[in-house]
Structure 1
Amino acid sequence: MQQKPIQIKGQFLEDSVKIGQQIHYSLSVRHGKNQEIFFPSVNQTFGAFQAVERTYFPTRTDESGSIDSAVYTFQLFRIENQQSLAIPVYLMQEADCTKIYPIKDHVYLKRLVPHPEKINLDSLYQHVTIAPLQPKTDLKNVVIWGLGLLIFTGLIYWFLGNSLKKWFKLYVLWRKNAEFRRFYQRYIRNIENNQMGLQNLERAFSLWKKYLESLTLKPFTTFTTKEMVDTLENKQLAKALHELDSTIYGGNFSGKTTDSVNMLLEIANSIYQEERTFISQENKKP
């Protein structure tokens, strides 16, 4: 039986929003009973909108198909008069996922001062308290101290420049790894077969992709499962990623989920150690 076309609708629940105020976006999709539809996580980028949370609603199924829906809560901090948004859904197919977008919806910025151009600046300036001027610093002494500091810094860089740069790179690399491990382990400690546990798993997976993107300078956050496996040349990774996709998007929590998140942590640490070795061996004579 031929599947009916997917119908998707996305719209703001409010017409306007103030800076920093929460605004809600409703996303619903009607699809065939046998089609798997996934909604984007709150860790993705939504243009000018900063995601706060996502609320799911139970799937409704009748003879004509199924309806899935969710409400996203955002905050807006840009001052443009109008912003637009269209959140896609993902249709799971045999080879990959396909993005399907709704028609863009618009929201307007509600300004606290409707006509700022009419403010009398001259009147405001008259009420501004002017602090007394401080005595000027002797320009000659400033130049001498500046040149001395510049020469001293140049000598240090001349003798220790390469070592300092290498140490700084290693330090930044270590800090990023420590921060990644701290947040990643916090998320995976709270993975359970409930909505909050699945959200923690989703956050851990998103954090892992962003960390690998910073290490390898490759767009892991936009890679498909196949592209990630081909890039890392790790065949065991495919099973782990498939298990995580099944758990996050399908709610199929199992004992293999813990093994999968631990494998991702091992892969991230392995790439981190390779990068440390590469930086340590830079500029060494053969």
Structure 2
Amino acid sequence: MPRGYIIILLCSLQAGAWGQQIPRPEGSFNRDTARLGELLQYTLVHHHPATQEVVLPPESYNFAPFELVRKDFFPTATKAGISTDSAIYTLRSFEIEPVQQLALPVYILSNQDTTEVFATADAVVLHQLVKEVQEPLQVKADTELATVEERFNWPELVLWLVASATFLSLVWLIFGQAIQRKYKLYRLRKDHVYFASRYNSHEERFKKTGAMQSLEKAVSLWKNYLTKLERSAINSFTTKEIVEYYENDEEVNTALRICDKAIYGNVQTETEGETNLALGMLRRFAKSRHKTQRELIKNAKSK
């Protein structure tokens, strides 16, 4: 065979071999040094024929000695029959080796076979903050306490307020009427004790001195007490209106007319002590009305 044909054949075989060779991907870090736990980016780029199906490492890939934080991939770009796949892996490392390397592969899919092609390994140098460690370690025994700002627990306060309001609402719903009734009876008893004390004082003073001023104060106090007790403007009524209000009660009619005669006519009546008896009748009537109101309040529950 002529020598020229041999040379042409060898060149053809060499060109075919180059055509079948799979190009390696390109992988590199964005910087040469990194600190422990610091984020750094590794860029992986692969150029291949457009007819070739290529897969880049997924997030489940073992990136040791690094840990994957995030993966950002880009759509395949094709130009003049050449496709480009690329991705950026955000990594970090907690290993303490001074030099740490990484070479990521790409996976070429063809028929029923998968070919793994690695990029050239790229390395980063760990920037060590602690150059030397003294053994044994020196422990700092005396430390200053940091002042922590006291914060009011608003959620707990709101929770207590809601719980308290709910509890009080239930108590009022169950025992509200009883509480109101007890309070009214308490106020009724207190008002009567106060009236009886002052009325008896004016009555005794009138019996001893016969002063018209004491009699006027006793009658006025009696009218004011019944005004509050009956919730009616009895202190503004005339004697006739008061008698009519109490349905012509004999004791009220007699007592008020005797007192009016003594106050406005300056006469204590012909019979001695009649005015004193009139004051006694007014006191008994006030006590009777107090008992009536007390029974009405007690019986309000059944109504």
| TM superposition score normalised by structure 1 | 0.49
| TM superposition score normalised by structure 2 | 0.46
Choose 1 or 2 for highest CA Rg.
2
